[in-house]
Amino acid sequence: SQQGEEDPQALSIQEGENATMNCSYKTSINNLQWYRQNSGRGLVHLILIRSNEREKHSGRLRVTLDTSKKSSSLLITASRAADTASYFCATERAGSYQLTFGKGTKLSVIP
């Protein structure tokens, strides 16, 4: 069953704009991770945020986590054409050491 669900399913923006993607989940988590996938390739880990953290930054990425609302957001600032990819959130099932991935947000950055 899907744990994380991303929103929107697709997003198209101009280069230089910010992109925000959201993820909602259903059960308690230890951490939430965001991954990027370029077309037809494997996933690349972007950032991990633990349940006791509220915000985390990595370069142009900013992730927030609201455990009371069971939601997270990924913000990419000053987007570039190279950011065009699908973005997935993944949550850990409690005690299982497995990740459950959402269906992803497809981001298109237009030069």
Partner 1 sequence: DVKVTQSSRYLVKRTGEKVFLECVQDMDHENMFWYRQDPGLGLRLIYFSYDVKMKEKGDIPEGYSVSREKKERFSLILESASTNQTSMYLCASSLFSGTSTDTQYFGPGTRLTVL
Contact set with partner 1 (CB under 8 A):
1-2, 30-31, 33, 35, 40-45, 48, 50, 88, 90, 92, 97-104
Residue (78 or 82) nearer to partner 1, CB: 82
What is the closest distance, in whole angstroms, from the C-beta atom of residue 56 to partner 1 in the complex? 13
Is 16 or 50 the residue whose CB approaches partner 1 more closely? 50
Q: Are 6 and 87 in contact (CB under 8 A)?
A: yes
| Other Cβ atoms closer than 10 A to 84 | 19
CA angle 86, 89, 95 (to 5 degrees): 150
Alpha-carbon distance 69 to 26, whole Å?
A: 9
Closest contact distance (angstroms) between CB of 73 and partner 1 is: 19
Helix then strand then coil, % of the chain, to nearest 5: 5, 55, 40
CB of 11 to partner 1, least distance (A): 17
For partner 1, the closer CB: 40 or 59: 40
